[in-house]
Amino acid sequence: MSLDHRLSPEHEELRRTVEAFAHDVVAPKIGEYWEQHQFPYEIVQEMARMGLFGLPFPEEYGGMGGDYLALCLAIEELARVDSSVAVTLEAGVSLGSMPIYLFGTEEQKREWLPRLCSGEALGAFGLTEPGGGTDAGGTRTTARLDEATGEWVINGSKCFITNSGTDITALVTVTAVTGRKPDGSPLISSIIVPSGTPGFTVAAPYSKVGWNASDTRELSFTDVRVPQANLLGELGRGYAQFLRILDEGRIAISALATGLAQGCVDESVKYAKTREAFGRPIGSNQALQFKIADMEMRAHTARVAWRDAASRMLHGEPFKKEASMAKLYSSEVAVTNAREATQVHGGYGFMNEYPVARMWRDSKILEIGEGTSEVQRMLIARELGL
């Protein structure tokens, strides 16, 4: 495969458009939302009007007719300014809408995708459980088919679910045990649960270290009944379906991490040029120049990694290992760059009024969500035959 990560004119135009939106619209407002732990409905509505939530989906379902690269470019540019806004888009598309597009029936696609693509509504992805974490195969949530009524009866709980409790959340797709294999292992299926279904309870937002302007909640299901037709994809294939979703999602999270890492460079360069010490800009000191140069090198390399994984995916080539490498590297780069950017800013880097303080607190989750760094190393080793 030829490796050419230069963007097409269409992709570059999109990147520039989202870059301008992030700096002109998101940057002036997001700090207040973040400080007050509020979901930025106004910003999300503007993102919806731009068509960002429909980027990778066909026009017949209300999408923009773009591709996954377009989505990741938008996520990276948003994350250069703020990760809460970026993850709202990432989770809304790759975790909320994509399962329905990839595995849904035609009826399910036409019922849900137009609203999700328009940004009028958000979807969420209910996989992680309080006692599970990385062990997604250990799902305890159950769904029993009531033959008399033709309904699934769901009981259980989920945790750390993004976009699950906003005023515009329309559905959560949950994984649940729907039976047992001959060897006793669980059959896990995916089921669409519309918001407001009786017995479906959304807890108050978590108090988090970072991503304070994104919506993250715990969910509980007590005898929740939904039609049998709400099964998403094949019975018993829910776990396999979402492993595929997570493979693709790791590319998007890598783009987000790259954006955060690049945002740390942007802020550090700007600060180093204007902050003076001992009668000259601190950026004239070689020690600081080298620190920022290393930050730029890491962000650039992370970008090459996620674009390579995205290119392989779009060409129909194997990409699991590349997605894991991109996610692992970019998330660790984001944490490193955030720490270094805080150091460049000195005492001001510890003040929330400066974006790097927010980036520092937002970065750590990137080494945990969508598969921990340890899991990524395990997957890479497995792909190497170890």
- What would the two tokens of residue 271 be? 């600060």
Q: Which parts of 256-310 are beta strand (E)?
A: 276-277, 280-281
Least Cα distance to 151 among 224, 239, 237, 238 occurs for 224
- How far is it, in rounded angstroms, from Cα 376 to Cα 253? 13
Catalytic residue among 296, 370, 374, 383: 370
Helix 27-35 vs helix 355-363: angle between axes, to the nearest 10 degrees? 60
187 - beta bridge partners?
A: 179
> Is residue 113 within 8 Å of 51, Cβ to Cβ?
no
> Phi, psi (5° rounding) for residue 352?
-65, -15
Based on its alpha-carbon atoms, the radius of gyration of the chain, rounded to whole angstroms, reads: 21
- How far is it, in rounded angstroms, from Cα 92 to Cα 19? 19
Least Cα distance to 51 among 112, 120, 101, 111 occurs for 120
DSSP state of 365: G
* DSSP notation for 303-353: HHHHHHHHHHHHTT---HHHHHHHHHHHHHHHHHHHHHHHHHHGGGGGSTT
370 catalytic? Reply is yes
- How far is it, in rounded angstroms, from Cα 259 to Cα 5? 16
Least Cα distance to 354 among 362, 345, 364 occurs for 345
- What would the two tokens of residue 24 be? 């002109």
- How far is it, in rounded angstroms, from Cα 289 to Cα 309? 31
Please state the length of the chain. Answer: 386
Q: What residues are labeled active site?
A: 370
